[in-house]
Structure 1
Amino acid sequence: MPMLIQCADKPGHLKMRLDTRGTHLAYLDSKKDIILAGGAVMDAEGNPCGSVLIIDTEDEAVARDFAENDPFNKAGLFETVTVTAWRKAFFNFENLT
């Protein structure tokens, strides 16, 4: 069963997110073999304010290590990081953009 990583940014840290984005994307690229899906969570103004990643592992320790080593997390961007098991119930490939 894959693991879901949910991260909420600290309020007022958009600049930190933008400044660290390149390093974060390089990290994700280095881990693409285990990433099933991921992206930013957006606030009401359309600015990123968190992250969601689904990774292909059943080992919670692997998911926690993944989250801990994310450059966003290392920079101190996240207020909270939650790791939970995830089971796909529905996925509509036709609606992907």
Structure 2
Amino acid sequence: MQFIVYCLDHSQMAERRRAHFEEHKARLQASTLRALIAGPLIELDGTVSGSFFHYESDDIETVRRFVLDDPFNTAGIWKTVDIWRFENRADSH
């Protein structure tokens, strides 16, 4: 199954994001959870305002636990964390 994770930051989190980025990145790289897409959400002015992930996993609880234990979440950077099951229909006609 595939899951989309959409996280929005509290305001003024640039410095805190930088402080926790290496830990966040290392955790993503070491995970057995397969990230198909992962990266920041960026405003038109270049401000990072959140994170977006597209994961493949057997169940949503695995994704939920992984995301809620992310350093960006435990450091209070993310204001909201939304997780949805996703079905890719780009190739279906």
| TM-score of the aligned structures, taking structure 2 as reference length | 0.89
Matched position secondary structure for 1:8 = strand
- Distance (whole Å) between structure 1 residues aligned to residue 37 and residue 19 of structure 2: 23
Offset at residue 90 of structure 1 (A): 2.5
Give the residue type in structure 1 aligned to 2:22: G
The aligned length equals 91
Which stretches in structure 1 are left out of the alignment for 5+ residues?
Answer: 92-97
Establish whether residue 51 from structure 1 lines up as the match of residue 62 from structure 2: no
How well do the aligned residues superpose, as a CA RMSD in angstroms? 1.5
**Match in the other structure for 2:60:** 60
Q: Secondary structure at the match of 1:67?
A: helix
Deviation at 1:21, TM superposition (A): 0.6
- CA distance in 1: counterparts of 2:89 and 2:19, whole angstroms: 36
- Shift of residue 36 of structure 1? 1.3
Identity, % of aligned positions: 25
Q: Which runs of 4+ in 1 moved over 6 A?
A: none
Whose strand proportion is higher, 1 or 2?
2
Query: What amino acid maps onto 1:17 in structure 2?
Result: R
- Checking the alignment, whether the CA contact within 8 Å between 2:33 and 2:57 is kept in structure 1 is no
Aligned to 2:88: 88
In structure 1, the residue corresponding to 2:64 is in which secondary structure?
helix
Alpha-carbon distance in 2 for matches of 1:17, 1:10? 11
Name the counterpart of 1:20. 20
Counterpart amino acid of 2:74?
K
Cα deviation, 1:41-88, whole Å, max 9, x if unaligned, reads 001211211001111114111111011111111111000000100111
| Unpaired segments ≥5 residues, structure 2 | none
Contact 1:35–1:54 (8 Å) recurs in 2:
yes
